[in-house]
Amino acid sequence: MIGPRLHRARKAAGLSLRDLGAQVGLTHAAIKKYEDGQATPSSSTLLKLARTLNVRTEYFFRPETVSLDRIEYRKRSTLPRKRLEAIEHEVIDHIERRIELENLFPSPPIAPFGPVHALPEVISGLAQIECAAETVRKAWDLGYAPIPDLIDVLETHGIRVFMIDANADPKFDGLAASVGRLPVIVVGSNWPGDRQRFTLAHELGHLILADRLETGLDEELACNRFAGAFLIPRQSVIQELGAHRSFIEPKELALLKEEFGLSMAGLLYRARDLGIVSPAWRDEQAKQFRSKGWHITEPGKPYPAQKAHVFEQMVFHALAEDYIGESKAAELLSMSLIDFRAERALEGSDAATHQ
């Protein structure tokens, strides 16, 4: 049991056999023997491995139960394979803890993900994506108003959302995958809120549009269109901007971004896609954005980052109901027992979210 989990933790940390061996004072051959099950580390060595790999020792004894299927990355083509593997292993650890926690409850704490009815079997053009996004919003009773807590909406409808620190990988935005019948979306925790929201909606597009797109229709473009339409539907765009415009003030875009949580650049795409402005005008504005550096950092206050709080809430729920004790709660949150007790006691001004 220890071997596969050691291998996974090492991959998640992005370390080679030699790197890990050097950090714990062992040869790479010794680490390989542990991973292959040919030798078992002593308690002191296991503790060193756990500290180096930033996991608790209990991690090494958790059963192997999870594998990711149908992985769809955003920005996958520009990430090295080694980092993709590390991300996948990190995601699997999050999912394992989530499944273990949910199984402690006498009845499922989260509703299962169900199919959205009335979606077309085959989508042959990007224009149909608008209708698909509206169908999902209608099925989920979202109307046409802004969605203030997108993660909560996804979790409410059976999609497990995880956030990982992607500071080391500015090219990683997120991914969609499944574990059995459980749909999963992962997003980088370090991005501004509008970028996170677009990634969440884009990955939702992968889940909703899976196996529906006609051959030849670019899936990434389709999911981009879905994301924009899901975050600010056609009716809302037209209501806010009008049916036809020859010019849109940047301040208008900034105010809409603040309201709907879609970037100014994303709103320009929406206006172009819906025929409100011409493609040529949108392209000219994109050049202006680039000349001002707005393609990197848009003006004004950043949209607030999204927060994945469901997992942490479930941990404290399970603790309150005596399904788990403090030690297990700390393990699930990947915290030391001392840190967990401080957070449980609400010590400090900020409550961190762990997932």
Q: Does residue 122 lie within any of the structural domains?
A: no
Q: pTM, whole model, 2 decimals?
A: 0.82
Within a domain: residue 284? no
Residue whose C-alpha is closest to residue 354's, from 309, 320, 321, 314: 309
Q: Among 64, 92, 119, where does a domain finish?
A: 64
Question: Which ranges in the chain belong to alpha helices (H)?
Answer: 2-12, 17-24, 28-36, 43-53, 81-102, 127-139, 150-156, 193-209, 219-231, 234-241, 250-260, 264-273, 279-292, 310-320, 326-332, 337-344
Beta-sheet pairing, 160-164 with 69-74: unpaired
Distance CA 164, CA 161 (A): 10
Residue 39 belongs to domain spanning = 1-64
pLDDT the model gives residue 265:
97
Distance in angstroms (rounded) separating the CA atoms of residues 203 and 161: 11
In-domain check, residue 332 = yes
Give the SS3 label for residue 250: helix
CATH of the domain at 25: 1.10.260.40
Q: From the CB of residue 197, how many other CB atoms can be counted at a distance below 10 Å? A: 26
Kind of pairing between the strands at 160-164 and 182-188:
parallel
* pLDDT score recorded for residue 127: 86
* pLDDT at 67 (0 to 100): 75
Domain boundary among 34, 64, 94: 64
Distance CA 87, CA 171 (A): 12
Q: Which of 44, 64, 84 is the last residue of a domain?
A: 64
Query: What is the residue-averaged pLDDT of the chain?
Result: 89
Domains: count for the chain: 2
Task: Answer yes or no: is 266 within a domain.
Answer: no
Give the contacts of 51 (CB within 8 A, at least 6 positions apart): none
Q: Which two tokens stand for residue 134?
A: 């509206």
| Assigned domain for 37 exists | yes
Q: What residues of the chain score a pLDDT lower than 70?
A: 63-65, 75-78, 166-170, 348-355
In this prediction, residue 254 carries a pLDDT of 97
User: For residue 218, what pLDDT is reported?
Assistant: 92
Decide if 26 is inside a domain.
yes
**pLDDT computed for residue 164 by the predictor:** 85
Give me the half-sphere count of Cα atoms (radius 13 Å) on the Cβ side of residue 347: 8
* pLDDT value for 14: 82
Q: Which two tokens stand for residue 162?
A: 């995880």
